[in-house]
Structure 1
Amino acid sequence: MGNRRSTCLIPHRRPAGGELTDEQETDNKVHRKARARVERVLSRMKNWKILRDVVRIVSS
Structure 2
Amino acid sequence: MLLRNLVPKDGLCNETRLMVVRCATRIIEVKILTGEHSGNLVFILRISLTSSIREMPFEMTR
TM-score, normalising length: structure 1:
0.25
Select the structure with the greater relative contact order (CA < 8 A; seq sep ≥ 6). Answer: 1
Bigger CA radius of gyration = 1
Answer 1 or 2: which has greater helix percent.
1
